[in-house]
Amino acid sequence: MSKTTAFETDILELIFNNTAIADIGDTTGIQGSSTAGSLYVALFTADPGEAGSATNECTYTGYARVAVARTSGGWTISGDTVSNTAAVTFGECTAGSETASHVGICKEDVETTADLIFYGALDSSLAISTGIIPEFIAGAIDVTEQ
């Protein structure tokens, strides 16, 4: 059985914009969090896989997951697709080097925590070395609910 496009949008709005899904179970439906908080974008050097392994998360000096607010200011939703509303900019690499091949969206800001909820391969790998500041321009991170 498949989800309707409207329900796919509802799920994305709940996760990314903290918007309640009305009329499931009763008129109050499924409520968003009392405080919206953030989701965290992470870079990986290899496919984290379905298990959401944090083993391959980037570790260059200067790296940290990037917080993106669970609001329309952080994420734009259109139908069954959500994308970052503004640029997502990681810390500058000040030492070390590695190649990022995947991006993920996590529940927490702690690197090495296996809390990945969405992930995918980059269109092309990104070589990171001293002086490089990895960044995704607005709209570059897309998640499609299926």
- DSSP percent split of the chain into helix, strand, coil, nearest 5: 10, 35, 55
- The pTM is what? 0.93
Residue 114's pLDDT is: 75
The average confidence (pLDDT) of the chain is 93
Given pLDDT bands bounded at 50, 70 and 90, which one contains residue 54?
A: confident
Residues 143 and 10 sit within 8 Å (Cβ to Cβ): no
pLDDT at residue 132, as a whole number = 98
Domain positions in the chain are 35-144
Average the pLDDT over 126-138 and give the result: 97
Per-residue model confidence as pLDDT tens digits over 96-120: 999 999 999 999 998 767 799 999 9
Confidence of residue 26 (pLDDT cuts 50, 70, 90): confident
Binned at pLDDT 50, 70 and 90, residue 66 comes out as: very high
Average pLDDT over residues 29-56: 91
> Which residues are paired to 136 by β-bridges?
88
- How far apart CA 58 and CA 90 sit, in angstroms, is 11
| Tokens found for residue 128 | 């990171």
120, 121, 127, 130 alpha-carbon torsion, rounded to 10°: 0
Contact call for residues 46 and 122 (beta carbons, < 8 A) = no
Which is nearest to 111 in space by CA: 43, 48, 38? Answer: 43
Q: How far apart are CA 82 and CA 56, in angstroms?
A: 25
pLDDT value for 28: 81
Which amino acid, residue 133? I
